[in-house]
């Protein structure tokens, strides 16, 4: 489970998150949509303390902390609960696809190399890149690089995977293959939060959708209700741009 209570974050005088509350149950997928600048990235970066929240109670898996008075160990434990997939893949350029996936297993988990490689290959198979194990990122398409980064995120068996606009850097013809991989992972009962502008995808893959604007959750609900019958003018206006 992921449970966030009263998450507030400001950058100097700019209030970016103004008291956010939500819950994602185990094996559920939550999508976050909203205009640029509404605080979506800051929200998911706060979940693993890439940004430090000003206030929040954050519970992920078996770790629960209060952002105003937490220890380094609690932050470390919280970070270990999630893995991030970024817009720009962030792969190690001097490592092959397989090495990108196994690096954390070998370095962090101290897994023997052979075992790490076996698991790494299993993950590359899951994202359809078994045959690219020895390719360096520069020789892979954007879609393939993002699929490697998804395999890498799964390697440490996180409690939840956090995606921040995973297809926004991709050429349009490469978006589908990445969304398909994310969908297949969702179907394996992975708990996920996905920031996305792909509305059809969000509708299909999510159990719950949150619409953010100006640092607040304006509206949320199951995708059917949310997309078919939005209640707030702000949500209606936003969704209109995607029809």
Nearest to 161 by CA among 195, 128, 198: 195
Check residue 33 for interaction with ligand ADP (CB under 6 A): no
Read off φ and ψ for residue 202, nearest 5 degrees: -60, -40
3-state secondary structure string across 41-64: HHHHHHHCCCCCCCEEEEEECCEE
Choice between 3 and 197, CB closer to Mg ion: 197
87 vs 184 by CB, closer to Mg ion? 87
Q: Which residues are 58's β-sheet partners?
A: 4, 65
Give least dist CB 215 to ligand ADP, A. Answer: 7
- Segment contacting ligand ADP by CB under 6 A, of 11-19, 84-92, 112-120, 174-182: 11-19
Binder among 4, 7, 20, 42 for ligand ADP (CB under 6 A): 42
Total chain residues near ligand ADP (CB under 6 A) = 11
Q: How far is the CB of 40 from ligand ADP (least distance, A)?
A: 3
Task: Choose which of 24, 30, 41, 170 interacts with ligand ADP (CB under 6 A).
Answer: 41
Is position 36 an interface residue for ligand ADP (rule: CB under 6 A)? Answer: yes
Nearer to Mg ion, 41 or 48 (CB): 41
31, 39, 170, 217: which one binds ligand ADP (CB under 6 A): 39
Does residue 159 interact with ligand ADP by CB under 6 A?
A: no
Element (H, E) at 223: helix 223-228
SS3 168: coil
Q: How far is CA 10 from the centre of its chain?
A: 22
Q: What is the CA radius of gyration of the chain?
A: 18
The two tokens of residue 46 are 């706060």
Secondary structure class of 4 (helix, strand, coil):
strand
Whether 211 contacts 33, CB under 8 Å: yes
- Range in contact with ligand ADP (rule: CB under 6 A) among 31-39, 59-67, 77-85, 145-153: 31-39
- Interface residues with Mg ion (CB under 5 A) are 40-41
Give the binding site for ligand ADP (CB under 6 A).
11, 14, 16, 34, 36-42
């Amino acid at each position: 489970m992921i449970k966030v209570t009263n998450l507030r974050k400001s950058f100097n005088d700019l209030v970016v998150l103004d008291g956010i509350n939500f819950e994602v149950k185990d094996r559920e997928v939550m999508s976050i949509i909203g205009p640029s600048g509404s605080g979506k990235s800051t929200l998911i970066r706060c979940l693993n303390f890439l940004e430090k929240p000003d206030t929040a109670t954050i519970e992920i898996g078996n770790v629960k902390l209060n952002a105003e008075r937490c220890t380094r160990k609690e932050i470390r434990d919280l970070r270990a609960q999630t893995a991030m997939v970024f817009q720009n893949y962030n792969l190690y350029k001097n490592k092959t696809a397989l090495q990108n996936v196994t690096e954390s297993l070998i370095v962090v988990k101290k897994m023997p190399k052979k075992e790490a490689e076996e698991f790494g290959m299993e993950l590359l198979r899951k994202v359809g890149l078994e045959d690219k194990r020895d390719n360096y990122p520069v020789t892979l398409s954007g879609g393939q690089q993002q699929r490697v980064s998804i395999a890498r995120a799964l390697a440490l068996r996180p409690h939840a995977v956090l995606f921040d606009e995973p297809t926004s850097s991709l050429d349009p013809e490469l978006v589908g293959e990445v969304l398909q991989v994310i969908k297949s992972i969702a179907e394996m009962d992975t708990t996920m939060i996905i920031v996305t502008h792909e509305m059809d995808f969000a509708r299909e893959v999510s159990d719950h959708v949150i619409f953010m604007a100006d640092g607040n959750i304006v509206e949320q609900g199951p995708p059917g209700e949310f997309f078919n019958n939005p209640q707030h003018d702000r949500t209606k206006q936003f969704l209109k741009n995607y029809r």
